[in-house]
Chains A and B, each alone.
Chain A
């Protein structure tokens, strides 16, 4: 995609008027703003190039996942570790760049940390069970 294809045919969103009540709120609570709504067109175009780079990275990592399985012939444990590691890298790219978690608000990090704790607990239960079994057999 070139910059020509994304040339705006109408005024950018950032310049759009907001309802009066919300405009008042912005003035009342100065300093609070959503970064995603206040980027310049140049910044947005730069973001778009980043998205395309991330897409290329995800495509390469997907190919690597399949190639690692069929070309490396690793033992199951190593294959598992490698597959999960690549999946985590892909997850980081999607969450960090596409979902903008690298530049999000604190309240979202708070929600996700709490979710992460419960999620870890949820996965720990079966892992604990497995370790318990190995301990007995």
Chain B
């Protein structure tokens, strides 16, 4: 740290802390993801309570639209592999290819949101709103919250594709770590969808 010049360097952004063995950002994102597990866990818990307490529960595949949701599952899986390939390419020092994969991930996010919007519009056209029934209340709440998480990830990817990518030219290792961190978040969003899809659409 260069206190005389008024410049304080943030510690452990690249090299690991000796006590945790991790750079700080990585531990930070895992703690955040732990809180996210509890957030979605509370909603899954609510789903079980509402479903078992309800005298009747519709079949998800009859009320919702399985084909677009299945396509969305593939899109999200593909985005998970593209983000991890972006990170791997940055570790290899291949900024150009890494950036392309970040762009493809962002595109996958856009496609997911577009299909989700189409799916919502179909539900609205059939007169299905959150106030329609317990089923649609929990469906819109869980998929809506998940969609907000996808949107959040897309904003971060757009930043790293645009102005945030300047860091590559000044601190490559730190930029690479940032992509790993947003990647971990993105995989978590994928993980939530992996459980949401069968629970809401197929059961």
* A residues adjacent to B (C-beta < 8 A): 1, 5-16, 18-19, 21-23, 25-26, 28-29, 32-34, 36-37, 39, 41, 44-45, 47-48, 51-52, 54-55, 58-59, 62, 65-66, 69-70, 76, 79-80, 83-84, 86-87, 90-91, 94-95, 98-99, 105-108, 111-112, 114-115, 118-119, 122-123, 125-127, 129-130, 133
User: Residue on A with the closest CB to B20?
Assistant: A107
Q: With the chains together, A11 CA to B94 CA distance in Å? A: 8
Are A91 and B31 neighbours in the complex by a CB distance under 8 Å? no
Q: With the chains together, A90 CA to B44 CA distance in Å? A: 18
CB-contact partner of B48 in A8, A29, A62, A130, under 8 A: A130
- Chain A residues whose C-beta falls within 8 Å of the C-beta of B30 in the assembled complex: 108, 111-112
- Chain A residues whose C-beta falls within 8 Å of the C-beta of B190 in the assembled complex: 94, 98
User: Residue on B with the closest CB to A65?
Assistant: B198
Are A126 and B52 neighbours in the complex by a CB distance under 8 Å? yes
- Chain A residues whose C-beta falls within 8 Å of the C-beta of B155 in the assembled complex: none
Besides A7-B94, A9-B94, A9-B96, 11 new A-B residue pairs in contact (Cβ under 8 A), listed by A number:
A13-B92, A22-B13, A41-B92, A59-B74, A70-B61, A80-B203, A87-B194, A91-B191, A111-B34, A119-B37, A119-B41
User: Residue on B with the closest CB to A129?
Assistant: B49
* B residues adjacent to A (C-beta < 8 A): 1, 9, 11-18, 20-23, 26-27, 30-31, 34, 37-38, 41-42, 44-46, 48-49, 52, 61, 66, 70, 73-74, 77-78, 80-81, 84-85, 88-97, 171-173, 176-177, 180, 183-184, 187-188, 190-191, 194-195, 197-199, 202-203
User: Residue on B with the closest CB to A11?
Assistant: B93
Q: With the chains together, A6 CA to B84 CA distance in Å? A: 13
Are A83 and B20 neighbours in the complex by a CB distance under 8 Å? no
- Known contacts A23-B15, A51-B85, A129-B49: A112-B187 contact under CB 8 Å: no
Are B11 and A22 neighbours in the complex by a CB distance under 8 Å? yes
Are A13 and B176 neighbours in the complex by a CB distance under 8 Å? yes
- Chain A residues whose C-beta falls within 8 Å of the C-beta of B15 in the assembled complex: 18, 22-23, 25-26, 34
Are B187 and A22 neighbours in the complex by a CB distance under 8 Å? no
Are A107 and B9 neighbours in the complex by a CB distance under 8 Å? no
CB-contact partner of B195 in A1, A44, A87, A112, under 8 A: A87
- Residue from B77, B94, B173 having most chain A Cβ neighbours under 10 A: B77
| B85 vs chain A, min Cβ distance (A) | 6
- Known contacts A94-B80, A126-B48: A69-B1 contact under CB 8 Å: no
- Chain A residues whose C-beta falls within 8 Å of the C-beta of B52 in the assembled complex: 126, 129-130, 133
- Chain B residues whose C-beta falls within 8 Å of the C-beta of A6 in the assembled complex: 88-89, 92, 94, 97
User: Residue on B with the closest CB to A15?
Assistant: B93
Are A66 and B202 neighbours in the complex by a CB distance under 8 Å? yes
Are B11 and A29 neighbours in the complex by a CB distance under 8 Å? no
Are B91 and A39 neighbours in the complex by a CB distance under 8 Å? yes
- Known contacts A119-B41, A122-B41: A55-B78 contact under CB 8 Å: yes
